[in-house]
């Protein structure tokens, strides 16, 4: 294995902006081999450390900060500059890491949920006619198990989502949803023997809407 030295500038919210020189080699298939400490600090080929990715993801999606706000805050508190484009890229990278960690721990989460009662809520929200954001949430913890953008709330779009949930977390004790015929068909296709119940909120909302429309027409 041939080795050589490389220098990389790394931006970390914990360490600041640092320059590191390290030995790198290539194994037979051409894959680069890096020091273990560097691998744990920063993604391969990137200049922003994992702690920077985490902080930006939290600022963007938990604190709901704008990119310019994040840019100013990091420059002030961490002492290095970052472009708004990098903030966008790193925030989505952080979401991808979070998704990977979530699915990697799926079986442990399933055991945790089943200590009490494991049931799921299904619902889809139309985003301005462009797509449907479909969410599967665990009822007791209210954790999101799976979420995906689908073209429409149709059986053919929902079935793969439920199959993935079944693969990762197993069969729930019960399923709760609104009165969508597409969701009902998808649930029957994937969770055939699992009780499927109506959400009280959606039931009352639909009942009130129908009674209101009848009175308004009369």
Query: pLDDT tens for residues 39-82?
Result: 899 998 899 999 999 999 999 999 999 999 999 999 999 999 99
Please give the pLDDT value at position 197: 93
Domain boundary among 71, 103, 135: 103
Angle, vertex CA 181, rays to CA 178 and CA 183, nearest 5: 65
Please give the pLDDT value at position 206: 65
8 Å CB contact between 21 and 54: no
Give the model confidence (pLDDT) of 7-49 as tens digits. Answer: 889 999 999 999 988 888 777 777 777 788 888 999 988 999 9
45/82 same-domain check: yes
> What CATH number corresponds to the domain at position 201?
3.30.420.10
Domain boundary among 103, 132, 161: 103
191/140 same-domain check: yes
With b meaning 16 or more CB within 10 Å and e meaning fewer, what string describes 5-31? eeebebbbbeeeeeeeeeeeeeeeeee
162/65 same-domain check: no
59-68, 88-97, 129-138: lowest mean pLDDT where? 129-138
Domain that holds residue 211: 109-217
Please give the pLDDT value at position 83: 97
175/96 same-domain check: no
**Structural domains counted in the chain:** 2
Please give the pLDDT value at position 199: 85
- Residue indicated by tokens 């805050």: 73
25/117 same-domain check: no
């Amino acid at each position: 294995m041939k080795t050589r030295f490389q220098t990389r500038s790394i931006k970390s919210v914990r360490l600041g902006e640092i320059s590191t020189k390290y030995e790198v080699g290539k194994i037979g298939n051409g894959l680069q081999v890096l020091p273990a400490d560097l691998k744990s600090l920063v993604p391969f080929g990137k200049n922003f450390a994992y702690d920077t990715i985490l902080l930006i993801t939290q600022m963007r999606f938990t604190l709901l900060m704008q990119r310019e706000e994040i840019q100013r805050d990091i420059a002030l508190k961490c002492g290095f500059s970052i472009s708004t484009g990098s903030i966008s890229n790193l925030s989505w990278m952080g979401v991808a890491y979070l998704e990977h960690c979530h699915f990697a721990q799926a079986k442990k989460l399933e055991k945790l949920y089943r200590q009490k009662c494991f049931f799921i809520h299904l619902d889809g929200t139309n985003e301005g006619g462009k797509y449907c954001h479909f969410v599967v949430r665990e009822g007791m913890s209210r954790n999101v198990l799976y979420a995906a953008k689908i073209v429409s709330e149709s059986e053919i779009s929902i079935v793969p989502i439920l199959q993935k949930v079944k693969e990762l977390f197993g069969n729930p004790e019960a399923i709760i949803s609104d009165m969508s015929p597409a969701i009902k068909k998808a649930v029957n296709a994937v969770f055939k023997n699992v009780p499927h119940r109506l959400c009280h909120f959606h039931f009352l909302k639909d009942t009130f809407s129908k009674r209101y429309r009848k009175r308004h027409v009369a």
